Structure 1
Amino acid sequence: MLVDLHEFSQQIQQRKEYIDNCLENLLKKEDTYPPVIHQAMRYAVFNGGKRLRPIMVLEGHRLAGGNPESVSTIACAMEMIHSYSLVHDDLPVMDDDDYRRGQLTCHRVFGEATAILTGDALLTEAFVLMSGSTDLAAQNPLRLLQVIREIAQAAGSEGMIGGQLIDLDAENKAINREELEGLHSLKTGALFKASLRAGAILGEMDDQGLTALGQYAHHFGLAFQITDDILDVDGDQFVLGKPVGSDAKNMKSTYTSLFGLDGARQLARQCVDRCHDSLAGFGTEADFLRDLATFTLHRTV
Structure 2
Amino acid sequence: MKNDAIIECVPNFSEGQDVAKVRQIVAAMQADEVRLLDWSLDAAHNRSVVTIAGPAAAVVESAVRGAGKAAELIDLTGQSGVHPRIGAADVVPFIPVSGASLADCAVLARQAGLQIWRRFGVPVYFYGAAAARPDRVQLEDVRRGQFEGLRESVRKDSARRPDIGGPELHDTAGASAVGARSFLIAYNVHLQQPDISAARAIARDIRASNGGLHGVKAIGVLANGRAQVSMNITDFRVTPMRQVHATVSHLAQRYGVLTEDAELIGLIPQEAYEPDSEWVRQITDFDPESKVLERRLNSPIAWPNTEVAGLDSTWPPR
Fold match, TM over 0.5? no
Q: TM-score when scaled to structure 1? A: 0.33
Report which of the two has the higher share of helix: 1
Report which of the two has the higher share of strand: 2
Q: TM-score when scaled to structure 2? A: 0.32
